[in-house]
Amino acid sequence: MQTQRILVGELQLGQTLNHCIRDGKKSEFDLLLAMLSTDVSDQDQFSLNTTQEEALFSQSLNEKFDIPPAQTLQAETLLEDEYSLTLGKIANQESLLAARLQHCLRPDALHFQSHMQHGISDELFDSLSPTVAQRFIKSANEVNEVNEIDSLNIEMDKLILAQKNYEANLVAA
């Protein structure tokens, strides 16, 4: 099935859809609606040209104002548990003010699963065979290593971006 005329603009498409409804041409109406995209970025007026200046302005506000990450509700890794214990040691050895400052820079989790090991309860973990328990411990260590590598990659990306911005400022000056 072919429409009588070629569609050129949105207004013409709207009129054609109205005529299809009025004349009861359900198949043509369905075809015209299927040609529309639900993604706004497909439309020409919303296409983005990324230049260096726009890339600088498009930074998230958290990165722009150096806001630390949000406080997690529940500790998921052993590193988070150890970090909270470290905050306690800082408060004990140095002062509460130093611990509070460290907590503001990087908040620790609000809840710790003290009755859980590797996502399962202590009673169940204790009843596992040593080989199965070792598999849980090994998989948890691999996840921690991957998380550490990811955080290093993010830090490296920030460092490279800062270096590029510095070089751009030197060239502009």
Tens digits of residue pLDDT in 87-143: 888 888 998 888 888 888 888 888 776 666 666 777 777 787 888 878 877 777 666
Can you give the pLDDT at residue 25? 92
pTM recorded for the entire structure: 0.33
For the chain, give the percent of residues with pLDDT over 70. 71
pLDDT category, 144, cuts 50, 70, 90? low
Beta bridge partners of 121: 116
Residue 48 in this model has a pLDDT that exceeds 60: no
Q: Beta strand 120-121 with 116-117: parallel, antiparallel or unpaired?
A: antiparallel
